[in-house]
Amino acid sequence: MEKESKPKPRSGDRLPLPSSSDLRGRQSVRATFKLTERAIDTLAVCAIHLGIKQKSLFDHLIDDMKALHAIANELNTLQFSKLDRIQKTFVLSRRTLSCLDQVSRNFNAPRDALVEYSIQRLLPVIEKERERHRKRKAFL
């Protein structure tokens, strides 16, 4: 049996090496949120129609700290608590969960509300896709 030889790095190759903390940040974790059925459906529809994993959508929505801070500043927790919500577990990256926890602590805002309103940012994308679909359908 022949041993497979590993390619040796050339001395001229000076590519930056990934850090262990960066790799751990991409590690998948599970987190449970209580969200409205509309938010859950929005996330699912967007993932299916755009061909993007829900984990990637979460990463995109929640890693945007500027948007998350804006949501936390305008959050109406009283109004949010009146919504009918369903408990659901999602897979997201460790870094995304860390960002969410940090903003939640800093602004004293419920994580569920931050996720709920972050997902609502996808509604214009879905509407745009629906319009494109209507036009395609009319064309055919």
Q: Which sequence spans correspond to the domains of the chain?
A: 29-139
Q: Which of 103, 131, 119, 128 is nearest to 54 (CA)?
A: 119
Model pLDDT for residues 31-87, shown as the tens digit of each residue: 999 999 999 999 998 888 888 899 999 898 988 888 999 998 888 766 787 888 999
What does DSSP assign to residue 9? Answer: P
* Residue 3 confidence (pLDDT): 58
The answer to whether residues 124 and 45 touch, using CB atoms and an 8 Å cutoff, is no
Q: What integer pLDDT is reported at residue 137 of this predicted model?
A: 85
Angstrom distance (rounded) from CA 90 to CA 29: 8
Among 123, 107, 108, CA closest to 57:
123
Which whole number is the average pLDDT over 112-133?
88
Residue type, 138: A
Write out pLDDT tens, residues 7-28: 565 555 677 777 766 666 568 9
Q: Which two tokens stand for residue 120?
A: 């609502």
Q: Where are the alpha helices (DSSP H) in 12-110?
A: 20-25, 37-50, 54-62, 65-74, 77-81, 94-107
Rounded distance, CA 117 to CA 38, Å?
Answer: 11
pTM of the predicted model as reported, rounded to 2 decimal places: 0.74
